[in-house]
Chains A and B, each alone.
Chain A
Amino acid sequence: MTQSMFLAQRRLCSVGGSRTKYLKTIYSSKISRFSTSPKMSLKFKNAKRIEGLDSNVWIEFTKLAADPSVVNLGQGLPDISPPLYVKEELSKIAAIDSLNQYTRGFGHPSLVKALSCLYGKLYQKQIDPNKEILVTVGAYGSLFNAIQGLIDEGDEVIIIVPFYDCYEPMVRMAGGTPVFISLRSKPVDGKKWSSSDWTLDPEELASKFNSKTKAIILNTPHNPMGKVYTKEELQVIADLCIKYDTLCISDEVYEWLVYTGNKHLKIATFPGMWERTITIGSAGKTFSVTGWKLGWTVGPNHLIKHLQTVQQNSIYTCATPLQEALAQAFWIDIKRMDDPECYFNSLPKELEVKRDRMVHLLDSVGLKPIIPDGGYFIIADVSLLDADLSDMKHNNEPYDYKFVKWMTKNKKLSAIPVSAFCNTETKLQFEKFVRFCFIKKDSTLDAAEEIIKAWNRQKS
Protein backbone atom coordinates (compact mmCIF):
# COMPACT_ATOMS: atom_id res chain seq x y z
CA MET A 1 0.00 0.00 0.00
CA THR A 2 1.10 3.48 -0.67
CA GLN A 3 2.07 5.32 2.44
CA SER A 4 3.76 8.48 3.50
CA MET A 5 6.84 7.78 5.49
CA PHE A 6 6.89 11.10 7.27
CA LEU A 7 4.02 12.53 9.14
CA ALA A 8 2.79 16.09 9.16
CA GLN A 9 5.02 18.10 11.42
CA ARG A 10 3.95 20.93 13.62
CA ARG A 11 2.18 23.53 11.54
CA LEU A 12 3.63 26.95 11.01
CA CYS A 13 1.35 29.93 11.54
CA SER A 14 -1.12 30.28 8.75
CA VAL A 15 -1.91 33.58 7.18
CA GLY A 16 -5.57 33.33 8.12
CA GLY A 17 -5.79 36.76 9.62
CA SER A 18 -4.49 38.76 6.71
CA ARG A 19 -6.41 36.61 4.26
CA THR A 20 -9.72 37.39 5.88
CA LYS A 21 -8.88 41.04 5.71
CA TYR A 22 -8.04 40.74 2.03
CA LEU A 23 -11.29 38.95 1.25
CA LYS A 24 -13.22 41.73 2.93
CA THR A 25 -11.38 44.39 0.95
CA ILE A 26 -11.91 42.73 -2.41
CA TYR A 27 -15.51 41.98 -1.67
CA SER A 28 -16.34 45.53 -0.75
CA SER A 29 -14.50 46.90 -3.75
CA LYS A 30 -16.49 44.59 -5.97
CA ILE A 31 -19.71 45.77 -4.40
CA SER A 32 -18.89 49.38 -4.96
CA ARG A 33 -17.63 48.97 -8.48
CA PHE A 34 -19.82 46.26 -9.88
CA SER A 35 -23.37 45.35 -9.30
CA THR A 36 -22.97 41.63 -9.77
CA SER A 37 -23.36 38.97 -7.10
CA PRO A 38 -20.29 37.73 -5.22
CA LYS A 39 -18.75 35.25 -7.61
CA MET A 40 -15.43 35.23 -5.83
CA SER A 41 -15.85 32.16 -3.75
CA LEU A 42 -16.99 30.27 -6.86
CA LYS A 43 -13.78 30.96 -8.70
CA PHE A 44 -11.72 29.26 -6.07
CA LYS A 45 -13.90 26.23 -6.15
CA ASN A 46 -12.46 22.99 -7.35
CA ALA A 47 -13.23 21.54 -10.74
CA LYS A 48 -16.17 19.14 -10.62
CA ARG A 49 -14.00 16.15 -11.47
CA ILE A 50 -12.50 16.11 -7.96
CA GLU A 51 -15.69 16.83 -6.05
CA GLY A 52 -15.88 14.49 -3.08
CA LEU A 53 -12.47 12.97 -3.72
CA ASP A 54 -10.52 15.02 -1.23
CA SER A 55 -10.45 12.58 1.67
CA ASN A 56 -7.78 9.96 1.88
CA VAL A 57 -7.63 7.17 4.43
CA TRP A 58 -3.88 7.16 4.69
CA ILE A 59 -3.53 10.57 6.22
CA GLU A 60 -5.41 9.62 9.36
CA PHE A 61 -3.69 6.30 9.80
CA THR A 62 -0.15 7.42 9.05
CA LYS A 63 -0.47 10.03 11.75
CA LEU A 64 -1.70 7.45 14.21
CA ALA A 65 1.13 5.05 13.52
CA ALA A 66 3.86 7.67 13.46
CA ASP A 67 4.43 7.43 17.21
CA PRO A 68 7.83 5.70 17.36
CA SER A 69 6.71 3.45 20.18
CA VAL A 70 4.13 1.87 17.85
CA VAL A 71 5.08 -1.23 15.90
CA ASN A 72 3.89 -0.32 12.47
CA LEU A 73 2.41 -3.13 10.43
CA GLY A 74 0.00 -0.77 8.72
CA GLN A 75 2.10 0.98 6.09
CA GLY A 76 2.51 -0.96 2.88
CA LEU A 77 6.16 -0.40 2.44
CA PRO A 78 9.20 -2.50 3.20
CA ASP A 79 11.42 -1.53 6.11
CA ILE A 80 13.97 -3.97 4.74
CA SER A 81 16.74 -2.77 2.46
CA PRO A 82 16.39 -3.18 -1.28
CA PRO A 83 18.83 -5.73 -2.72
CA LEU A 84 22.43 -4.52 -2.70
CA TYR A 85 22.90 -4.64 -6.46
CA VAL A 86 19.87 -2.40 -6.95
CA LYS A 87 21.39 0.25 -4.70
CA GLU A 88 24.74 -0.21 -6.41
CA GLU A 89 23.26 0.34 -9.87
CA LEU A 90 21.68 3.59 -8.76
CA SER A 91 24.97 4.67 -7.27
CA LYS A 92 26.83 4.01 -10.52
CA ILE A 93 24.18 5.82 -12.52
CA ALA A 94 24.35 8.94 -10.38
CA ALA A 95 27.87 9.47 -11.67
CA ILE A 96 26.83 9.52 -15.31
CA ASP A 97 26.23 13.09 -16.35
CA SER A 98 23.94 12.62 -19.34
CA LEU A 99 21.45 10.80 -17.16
CA ASN A 100 20.67 14.04 -15.34
CA GLN A 101 18.70 15.31 -18.34
CA TYR A 102 15.38 14.42 -19.95
CA THR A 103 14.93 11.04 -21.51
CA ARG A 104 12.27 9.64 -23.84
CA GLY A 105 8.80 10.56 -22.58
CA PHE A 106 7.19 7.15 -22.88
CA GLY A 107 10.07 5.38 -21.19
CA HIS A 108 13.85 5.48 -21.10
CA PRO A 109 15.11 3.33 -24.00
CA SER A 110 17.20 0.90 -21.97
CA LEU A 111 14.36 0.38 -19.52
CA VAL A 112 11.65 -0.29 -22.09
CA LYS A 113 14.06 -2.65 -23.79
CA ALA A 114 14.58 -4.58 -20.54
CA LEU A 115 10.84 -4.65 -19.85
CA SER A 116 10.18 -5.82 -23.40
CA CYS A 117 12.66 -8.63 -22.92
CA LEU A 118 11.29 -9.72 -19.53
CA TYR A 119 7.64 -9.55 -20.45
CA GLY A 120 8.29 -11.04 -23.86
CA LYS A 121 9.35 -14.16 -22.01
CA LEU A 122 6.39 -14.06 -19.64
CA TYR A 123 3.83 -13.36 -22.34
CA GLN A 124 5.51 -15.66 -24.83
CA LYS A 125 5.20 -13.03 -27.51
CA GLN A 126 7.23 -10.18 -28.96
CA ILE A 127 6.46 -6.97 -27.13
CA ASP A 128 7.41 -3.75 -28.88
CA PRO A 129 9.33 -1.60 -26.36
CA ASN A 130 8.15 1.68 -27.86
CA LYS A 131 4.58 0.94 -28.83
CA GLU A 132 3.46 -1.62 -26.30
CA ILE A 133 5.11 -0.37 -23.12
CA LEU A 134 4.74 2.87 -21.19
CA VAL A 135 6.79 3.82 -18.12
CA THR A 136 4.87 5.80 -15.52
CA VAL A 137 5.20 7.39 -12.09
CA GLY A 138 4.62 4.19 -10.17
CA ALA A 139 1.86 1.73 -10.90
CA TYR A 140 -0.37 4.48 -9.49
CA GLY A 141 0.57 6.59 -12.51
CA SER A 142 -0.23 3.69 -14.85
CA LEU A 143 -3.66 3.30 -13.29
CA PHE A 144 -4.24 7.03 -13.69
CA ASN A 145 -3.13 7.08 -17.33
CA ALA A 146 -5.28 4.04 -18.13
CA ILE A 147 -8.38 5.42 -16.48
CA GLN A 148 -7.98 8.95 -17.83
CA GLY A 149 -7.17 7.62 -21.26
CA LEU A 150 -9.91 5.07 -21.58
CA ILE A 151 -12.76 5.91 -19.21
CA ASP A 152 -15.31 8.50 -20.24
CA GLU A 153 -18.29 10.20 -18.64
CA GLY A 154 -20.97 7.57 -18.10
CA ASP A 155 -18.72 4.55 -18.64
CA GLU A 156 -19.17 1.81 -16.07
CA VAL A 157 -16.14 0.21 -14.48
CA ILE A 158 -16.41 -2.97 -12.44
CA ILE A 159 -14.39 -2.90 -9.24
CA ILE A 160 -13.93 -5.97 -7.04
CA VAL A 161 -14.32 -5.36 -3.31
CA PRO A 162 -12.12 -5.06 -1.29
CA PHE A 163 -10.06 -2.91 -3.65
CA TYR A 164 -6.92 -0.86 -3.60
CA ASP A 165 -8.38 2.44 -2.47
CA CYS A 166 -7.48 4.61 -5.45
CA TYR A 167 -9.55 2.67 -8.01
CA GLU A 168 -12.85 4.25 -7.00
CA PRO A 169 -11.76 7.92 -6.88
CA MET A 170 -9.80 7.55 -10.12
CA VAL A 171 -12.84 6.15 -11.91
CA ARG A 172 -15.03 8.93 -10.51
CA MET A 173 -12.51 11.59 -11.46
CA ALA A 174 -12.72 10.33 -15.06
CA GLY A 175 -16.51 10.67 -14.92
CA GLY A 176 -16.98 6.91 -14.81
CA THR A 177 -19.45 5.00 -12.68
CA PRO A 178 -17.95 2.32 -10.44
CA VAL A 179 -19.94 -0.89 -10.20
CA PHE A 180 -18.95 -2.99 -7.22
CA ILE A 181 -18.89 -6.71 -6.62
CA SER A 182 -17.56 -8.33 -3.47
CA LEU A 183 -15.37 -11.31 -2.95
CA ARG A 184 -17.28 -13.76 -0.75
CA SER A 185 -15.95 -16.54 1.42
CA LYS A 186 -16.89 -20.17 1.31
CA PRO A 187 -17.45 -21.80 4.68
CA VAL A 188 -14.20 -23.19 6.05
CA ASP A 189 -15.06 -25.31 9.08
CA GLY A 190 -12.00 -27.05 10.34
CA LYS A 191 -9.45 -26.11 7.76
CA LYS A 192 -7.26 -23.05 7.64
CA TRP A 193 -8.85 -20.01 6.08
CA SER A 194 -7.14 -19.06 2.87
CA SER A 195 -7.47 -16.20 0.41
CA SER A 196 -8.46 -18.82 -2.17
CA ASP A 197 -11.65 -19.39 -0.16
CA TRP A 198 -12.72 -15.91 -1.23
CA THR A 199 -14.23 -15.92 -4.69
CA LEU A 200 -16.55 -14.10 -7.02
CA ASP A 201 -19.91 -15.65 -7.76
CA PRO A 202 -19.90 -16.08 -11.56
CA GLU A 203 -23.59 -15.30 -11.91
CA GLU A 204 -23.33 -12.25 -9.76
CA LEU A 205 -20.32 -11.10 -11.75
CA ALA A 206 -22.13 -11.62 -15.05
CA SER A 207 -25.02 -9.53 -13.77
CA LYS A 208 -22.66 -6.55 -13.35
CA PHE A 209 -21.76 -6.46 -17.03
CA ASN A 210 -23.86 -4.56 -19.56
CA SER A 211 -23.41 -2.51 -22.70
CA LYS A 212 -22.10 0.46 -20.69
CA THR A 213 -19.33 -1.54 -19.05
CA LYS A 214 -16.08 -0.07 -20.37
CA ALA A 215 -13.66 -1.93 -18.15
CA ILE A 216 -13.14 -4.21 -15.19
CA ILE A 217 -10.25 -3.62 -12.82
CA LEU A 218 -8.54 -6.82 -11.76
CA ASN A 219 -5.88 -6.97 -9.05
CA THR A 220 -3.95 -10.19 -8.80
CA PRO A 221 -2.21 -10.96 -6.47
CA HIS A 222 -4.79 -8.99 -4.55
CA ASN A 223 -4.37 -6.20 -2.05
CA PRO A 224 -5.49 -6.54 0.78
CA MET A 225 -6.69 -10.14 0.58
CA GLY A 226 -3.58 -11.74 -0.95
CA LYS A 227 -5.76 -13.72 -3.31
CA VAL A 228 -4.08 -15.14 -6.42
CA TYR A 229 -6.75 -15.67 -9.06
CA THR A 230 -6.81 -19.16 -10.55
CA LYS A 231 -7.01 -20.07 -14.21
CA GLU A 232 -10.71 -20.88 -13.90
CA GLU A 233 -11.48 -17.61 -12.14
CA LEU A 234 -9.59 -15.61 -14.75
CA GLN A 235 -11.37 -17.51 -17.51
CA VAL A 236 -14.75 -16.43 -16.13
CA ILE A 237 -13.61 -12.82 -16.20
CA ALA A 238 -12.06 -13.18 -19.65
CA ASP A 239 -15.23 -14.75 -21.07
CA LEU A 240 -17.31 -11.85 -19.82
CA CYS A 241 -14.84 -9.27 -21.13
CA ILE A 242 -14.99 -10.83 -24.57
CA LYS A 243 -18.76 -11.25 -24.50
CA TYR A 244 -19.36 -7.62 -23.55
CA ASP A 245 -16.35 -6.24 -25.47
CA THR A 246 -14.93 -4.84 -22.25
CA LEU A 247 -11.42 -3.78 -21.36
CA CYS A 248 -9.49 -5.32 -18.52
CA ILE A 249 -7.14 -3.18 -16.41
CA SER A 250 -5.00 -5.74 -14.64
CA ASP A 251 -3.05 -4.46 -11.65
CA GLU A 252 -0.32 -7.04 -11.17
CA VAL A 253 2.13 -5.13 -8.99
CA TYR A 254 2.62 -8.12 -6.67
CA GLU A 255 3.19 -10.50 -9.61
CA TRP A 256 6.38 -11.95 -8.12
CA LEU A 257 5.00 -12.39 -4.64
CA VAL A 258 3.22 -15.70 -4.81
CA TYR A 259 3.69 -18.48 -2.32
CA THR A 260 4.15 -22.22 -2.59
CA GLY A 261 1.36 -23.97 -4.40
CA ASN A 262 0.30 -20.89 -6.33
CA LYS A 263 1.10 -19.43 -9.70
CA HIS A 264 0.59 -15.92 -10.95
CA LEU A 265 -1.28 -15.95 -14.24
CA LYS A 266 -1.58 -13.02 -16.62
CA ILE A 267 -5.07 -12.57 -17.96
CA ALA A 268 -3.58 -10.85 -21.00
CA THR A 269 -2.21 -14.21 -22.11
CA PHE A 270 -5.66 -15.79 -22.28
CA PRO A 271 -7.14 -16.16 -25.78
CA GLY A 272 -8.82 -12.99 -26.96
CA MET A 273 -7.46 -10.96 -24.06
CA TRP A 274 -4.20 -9.36 -25.24
CA GLU A 275 -6.08 -6.90 -27.43
CA ARG A 276 -8.27 -5.68 -24.56
CA THR A 277 -5.97 -5.82 -21.54
CA ILE A 278 -3.77 -3.22 -19.90
CA THR A 279 -1.31 -4.88 -17.50
CA ILE A 280 0.36 -2.84 -14.81
CA GLY A 281 3.59 -3.52 -12.94
CA SER A 282 5.67 -1.77 -10.30
CA ALA A 283 9.38 -1.33 -9.65
CA GLY A 284 8.53 -0.47 -6.05
CA LYS A 285 6.99 -3.85 -5.43
CA THR A 286 9.37 -5.80 -7.68
CA PHE A 287 12.60 -4.51 -6.18
CA SER A 288 11.44 -3.15 -2.80
CA VAL A 289 12.04 0.44 -3.91
CA THR A 290 8.65 2.08 -3.48
CA GLY A 291 10.35 5.49 -3.29
CA TRP A 292 11.59 5.25 -6.87
CA LYS A 293 7.98 5.60 -8.05
CA LEU A 294 8.39 3.79 -11.33
CA GLY A 295 5.74 1.62 -12.86
CA TRP A 296 4.80 0.42 -16.31
CA THR A 297 1.97 -0.66 -18.49
CA VAL A 298 2.15 -3.42 -21.08
CA GLY A 299 -0.53 -3.72 -23.72
CA PRO A 300 -1.49 -3.52 -27.37
CA ASN A 301 -0.61 -0.27 -29.13
CA HIS A 302 -4.23 0.64 -29.81
CA LEU A 303 -4.67 0.96 -26.03
CA ILE A 304 -1.17 2.06 -24.99
CA LYS A 305 -1.22 5.01 -27.37
CA HIS A 306 -4.05 6.56 -25.37
CA LEU A 307 -2.13 6.16 -22.12
CA GLN A 308 0.80 7.79 -23.91
CA THR A 309 -1.40 10.73 -24.86
CA VAL A 310 -2.28 11.21 -21.20
CA GLN A 311 1.41 10.98 -20.30
CA GLN A 312 2.49 13.64 -22.79
CA ASN A 313 -0.16 15.98 -21.41
CA SER A 314 0.42 15.33 -17.72
CA ILE A 315 3.99 14.61 -16.58
CA TYR A 316 5.63 14.12 -19.99
CA THR A 317 8.53 12.01 -18.79
CA CYS A 318 9.73 10.11 -15.72
CA ALA A 319 13.05 10.57 -13.94
CA THR A 320 16.05 9.44 -16.00
CA PRO A 321 18.60 8.15 -13.47
CA LEU A 322 16.05 5.99 -11.69
CA GLN A 323 14.90 4.47 -14.97
CA GLU A 324 18.44 3.64 -16.01
CA ALA A 325 19.21 2.07 -12.63
CA LEU A 326 16.03 0.05 -12.84
CA ALA A 327 16.97 -1.15 -16.34
CA GLN A 328 20.34 -2.35 -15.06
CA ALA A 329 18.76 -4.09 -12.08
CA PHE A 330 16.34 -5.82 -14.44
CA TRP A 331 19.15 -7.07 -16.69
CA ILE A 332 20.86 -8.63 -13.70
CA ASP A 333 17.78 -10.59 -12.73
CA ILE A 334 16.55 -11.34 -16.26
CA LYS A 335 19.81 -13.20 -16.83
CA ARG A 336 19.23 -15.52 -13.88
CA MET A 337 15.51 -16.11 -13.76
CA ASP A 338 15.87 -19.77 -12.87
CA ASP A 339 18.41 -19.02 -10.16
CA PRO A 340 17.21 -18.99 -6.55
CA GLU A 341 19.38 -15.87 -6.11
CA CYS A 342 17.24 -13.96 -8.57
CA TYR A 343 15.22 -11.45 -6.54
CA PHE A 344 12.02 -12.53 -8.29
CA ASN A 345 12.58 -15.91 -6.61
CA SER A 346 14.36 -15.00 -3.41
CA LEU A 347 11.93 -12.31 -2.21
CA PRO A 348 8.83 -14.51 -2.22
CA LYS A 349 10.82 -17.22 -0.39
CA GLU A 350 11.87 -14.71 2.24
CA LEU A 351 8.34 -13.37 2.55
CA GLU A 352 6.71 -16.78 2.81
CA VAL A 353 8.59 -17.36 6.05
CA LYS A 354 7.38 -14.02 7.36
CA ARG A 355 3.86 -14.78 6.22
CA ASP A 356 3.81 -18.06 8.09
CA ARG A 357 5.17 -16.41 11.19
CA MET A 358 2.43 -13.76 11.05
CA VAL A 359 -0.28 -16.37 10.50
CA HIS A 360 0.89 -18.25 13.57
CA LEU A 361 1.10 -15.11 15.69
CA LEU A 362 -2.33 -13.86 14.72
CA ASP A 363 -3.83 -17.30 15.30
CA SER A 364 -2.26 -17.53 18.74
CA VAL A 365 -4.08 -14.47 19.99
CA GLY A 366 -7.48 -15.29 18.55
CA LEU A 367 -7.34 -13.05 15.52
CA LYS A 368 -8.56 -15.21 12.69
CA PRO A 369 -6.17 -14.71 9.75
CA ILE A 370 -6.90 -15.41 6.10
CA ILE A 371 -3.72 -16.96 4.78
CA PRO A 372 -2.70 -14.98 1.69
CA ASP A 373 -1.58 -16.89 -1.37
CA GLY A 374 0.34 -13.83 -2.54
CA GLY A 375 1.21 -10.20 -1.84
CA TYR A 376 2.67 -8.90 1.39
CA PHE A 377 -0.45 -8.31 3.41
CA ILE A 378 -2.51 -10.53 5.63
CA ILE A 379 -6.00 -9.78 6.84
CA ALA A 380 -7.56 -11.14 9.97
CA ASP A 381 -11.04 -11.24 11.43
CA VAL A 382 -10.77 -9.42 14.76
CA SER A 383 -14.34 -9.82 15.95
CA LEU A 384 -13.79 -13.04 17.89
CA LEU A 385 -11.50 -11.15 20.18
CA ASP A 386 -14.50 -9.13 21.28
CA ALA A 387 -12.27 -6.32 22.38
CA ASP A 388 -13.74 -3.65 24.62
CA LEU A 389 -13.80 -0.64 22.33
CA SER A 390 -16.19 1.38 24.43
CA ASP A 391 -13.64 4.07 25.16
CA MET A 392 -13.18 4.72 21.45
CA LYS A 393 -14.86 7.86 20.16
CA HIS A 394 -16.55 8.18 16.76
CA ASN A 395 -19.16 5.52 17.39
CA ASN A 396 -20.47 5.70 13.85
CA GLU A 397 -17.15 4.59 12.39
CA PRO A 398 -16.88 1.02 11.13
CA TYR A 399 -15.79 -1.54 13.72
CA ASP A 400 -12.37 -2.09 12.16
CA TYR A 401 -11.52 1.64 12.24
CA LYS A 402 -12.26 1.66 15.96
CA PHE A 403 -10.39 -1.59 16.50
CA VAL A 404 -7.25 -0.34 14.77
CA LYS A 405 -7.30 2.88 16.77
CA TRP A 406 -7.80 0.92 19.98
CA MET A 407 -5.05 -1.55 19.10
CA THR A 408 -2.64 1.25 18.18
CA LYS A 409 -3.35 3.11 21.41
CA ASN A 410 -3.51 0.18 23.82
CA LYS A 411 -1.32 -2.47 22.26
CA LYS A 412 1.12 -0.22 20.38
CA LEU A 413 0.56 -2.21 17.23
CA SER A 414 -0.85 -0.63 14.10
CA ALA A 415 -2.63 -2.03 11.08
CA ILE A 416 -5.13 -0.77 8.49
CA PRO A 417 -8.91 -1.33 8.64
CA VAL A 418 -10.08 -3.32 5.61
CA SER A 419 -13.25 -1.27 5.28
CA ALA A 420 -10.87 1.45 3.99
CA PHE A 421 -10.74 -0.73 0.86
CA CYS A 422 -14.50 -0.77 0.47
CA ASN A 423 -17.01 1.64 -0.98
CA THR A 424 -19.65 3.15 1.31
CA GLU A 425 -22.20 0.41 0.70
CA THR A 426 -19.85 -2.52 1.27
CA LYS A 427 -17.97 -1.26 4.33
CA LEU A 428 -20.12 -3.30 6.67
CA GLN A 429 -19.25 -6.51 4.83
CA PHE A 430 -15.61 -6.14 5.76
CA GLU A 431 -15.66 -4.16 8.98
CA LYS A 432 -14.45 -7.08 11.07
CA PHE A 433 -11.20 -7.31 9.13
CA VAL A 434 -7.89 -5.64 9.69
CA ARG A 435 -4.82 -5.67 7.40
CA PHE A 436 -1.26 -6.30 8.52
CA CYS A 437 1.80 -5.76 6.32
CA PHE A 438 4.58 -8.32 6.71
CA ILE A 439 7.34 -7.09 4.41
CA LYS A 440 9.13 -5.99 7.54
CA LYS A 441 12.51 -6.77 8.97
CA ASP A 442 12.80 -9.45 11.62
CA SER A 443 13.23 -6.99 14.46
CA THR A 444 9.91 -5.38 13.54
CA LEU A 445 8.20 -8.76 13.50
CA ASP A 446 9.96 -9.67 16.76
CA ALA A 447 8.51 -6.55 18.34
CA ALA A 448 5.07 -7.45 16.98
CA GLU A 449 5.50 -10.93 18.43
CA GLU A 450 6.31 -9.52 21.85
CA ILE A 451 3.17 -7.42 21.81
CA ILE A 452 1.01 -10.30 20.65
CA LYS A 453 2.41 -12.69 23.24
CA ALA A 454 1.82 -10.18 26.00
CA TRP A 455 -1.70 -9.64 24.68
CA ASN A 456 -2.26 -13.37 24.83
CA ARG A 457 -1.02 -13.64 28.37
CA GLN A 458 -3.33 -10.82 29.40
CA LYS A 459 -6.32 -12.69 28.08
CA SER A 460 -5.70 -15.97 29.86
Chain B
Amino acid sequence: MSKNTKRQRTLEDVFGSNSTKKRKKSNDDTSNVDKQNIVNTPTTSSTVKKISDNDLELLRQFDLDMKFGPCTGIPRIDRYDRAIRHELDPPVRVLELINNYPNDRQVTHW
Protein backbone atom coordinates (compact mmCIF):
# COMPACT_ATOMS: atom_id res chain seq x y z
CA MET B 1 0.00 0.00 0.00
CA SER B 2 2.71 2.42 0.93
CA LYS B 3 4.53 1.61 -2.31
CA ASN B 4 1.43 2.60 -4.29
CA THR B 5 1.02 5.94 -2.56
CA LYS B 6 4.72 6.68 -2.99
CA ARG B 7 4.44 6.18 -6.74
CA GLN B 8 1.33 8.34 -7.01
CA ARG B 9 3.24 11.49 -6.16
CA THR B 10 4.52 12.21 -9.63
CA LEU B 11 4.80 15.43 -11.59
CA GLU B 12 1.52 14.68 -13.29
CA ASP B 13 -0.25 14.87 -9.95
CA VAL B 14 1.26 18.24 -9.22
CA PHE B 15 0.59 19.75 -12.61
CA GLY B 16 -2.52 17.85 -13.53
CA SER B 17 -3.03 15.21 -16.15
CA ASN B 18 -4.53 17.61 -18.71
CA SER B 19 -1.26 18.74 -20.11
CA THR B 20 -0.73 16.50 -23.08
CA LYS B 21 -4.16 15.26 -23.99
CA LYS B 22 -4.42 14.74 -27.74
CA ARG B 23 -7.45 16.30 -29.38
CA LYS B 24 -8.56 13.02 -30.90
CA LYS B 25 -9.02 11.54 -27.46
CA SER B 26 -11.39 14.27 -26.39
CA ASN B 27 -14.20 12.49 -28.23
CA ASP B 28 -14.55 9.73 -25.66
CA ASP B 29 -16.56 10.21 -22.52
CA THR B 30 -14.14 9.20 -19.77
CA SER B 31 -13.57 12.08 -17.44
CA ASN B 32 -10.15 13.06 -16.11
CA VAL B 33 -10.87 11.52 -12.74
CA ASP B 34 -11.80 8.21 -14.33
CA LYS B 35 -8.65 8.17 -16.42
CA GLN B 36 -6.47 8.89 -13.47
CA ASN B 37 -8.14 6.11 -11.55
CA ILE B 38 -7.59 3.68 -14.38
CA VAL B 39 -3.88 4.45 -14.50
CA ASN B 40 -3.15 4.50 -10.81
CA THR B 41 -4.96 1.28 -9.93
CA PRO B 42 -3.33 -1.32 -12.13
CA THR B 43 -5.29 -4.11 -10.54
CA THR B 44 -8.38 -3.17 -12.61
CA SER B 45 -6.99 -4.99 -15.65
CA SER B 46 -5.02 -8.16 -15.39
CA THR B 47 -3.20 -7.53 -18.69
CA VAL B 48 -1.60 -4.30 -17.44
CA LYS B 49 1.93 -4.99 -16.23
CA LYS B 50 3.55 -3.01 -13.49
CA ILE B 51 6.71 -1.22 -14.47
CA SER B 52 9.65 -1.91 -12.24
CA ASP B 53 11.16 0.83 -10.13
CA ASN B 54 14.51 0.60 -11.89
CA ASP B 55 12.89 1.17 -15.25
CA LEU B 56 10.86 4.04 -13.91
CA GLU B 57 14.04 5.53 -12.53
CA LEU B 58 15.66 5.18 -15.96
CA LEU B 59 12.77 7.07 -17.53
CA ARG B 60 13.07 9.83 -14.95
CA GLN B 61 16.78 10.11 -15.65
CA PHE B 62 15.94 10.46 -19.35
CA ASP B 63 13.56 13.28 -18.44
CA LEU B 64 16.03 15.12 -16.33
CA ASP B 65 18.93 14.82 -18.76
CA MET B 66 19.09 18.35 -20.17
CA LYS B 67 21.08 17.20 -23.17
CA PHE B 68 17.78 16.25 -24.79
CA GLY B 69 16.16 19.58 -24.09
CA PRO B 70 13.21 20.49 -21.90
CA CYS B 71 10.97 17.67 -20.76
CA THR B 72 7.85 19.44 -19.47
CA GLY B 73 4.57 19.31 -21.30
CA ILE B 74 5.33 16.81 -24.03
CA PRO B 75 4.99 13.03 -24.13
CA ARG B 76 8.20 11.05 -23.71
CA ILE B 77 7.87 9.65 -27.20
CA ASP B 78 7.90 13.17 -28.67
CA ARG B 79 10.99 14.02 -26.70
CA TYR B 80 12.62 10.77 -27.80
CA ASP B 81 11.75 11.54 -31.44
CA ARG B 82 13.25 14.98 -31.07
CA ALA B 83 16.40 13.47 -29.62
CA ILE B 84 16.64 11.13 -32.60
CA ARG B 85 15.98 13.95 -35.04
CA HIS B 86 18.79 16.03 -33.57
CA GLU B 87 21.09 13.00 -33.42
CA LEU B 88 21.64 13.10 -29.68
CA ASP B 89 21.77 9.27 -29.19
CA PRO B 90 19.09 8.74 -26.59
CA PRO B 91 19.19 5.36 -24.82
CA VAL B 92 17.25 2.72 -26.74
CA ARG B 93 15.94 1.22 -23.51
CA VAL B 94 13.72 4.29 -23.12
CA LEU B 95 12.01 3.57 -26.43
CA GLU B 96 11.53 -0.07 -25.47
CA LEU B 97 9.90 0.92 -22.20
CA ILE B 98 7.62 3.45 -23.85
CA ASN B 99 6.45 0.84 -26.32
CA ASN B 100 6.02 -1.91 -23.74
CA TYR B 101 3.75 0.12 -21.51
CA PRO B 102 1.60 2.13 -23.91
CA ASN B 103 -1.29 2.50 -21.51
CA ASP B 104 0.65 3.46 -18.43
CA ARG B 105 0.54 7.22 -18.21
CA GLN B 106 3.52 7.32 -15.92
CA VAL B 107 5.59 5.86 -18.71
CA THR B 108 4.28 7.74 -21.69
CA HIS B 109 4.22 11.18 -20.12
CA TRP B 110 6.76 13.06 -18.06
Do A and B pair up? The answer is: no
Which residues of B does A touch, CB under 8 Å?
none
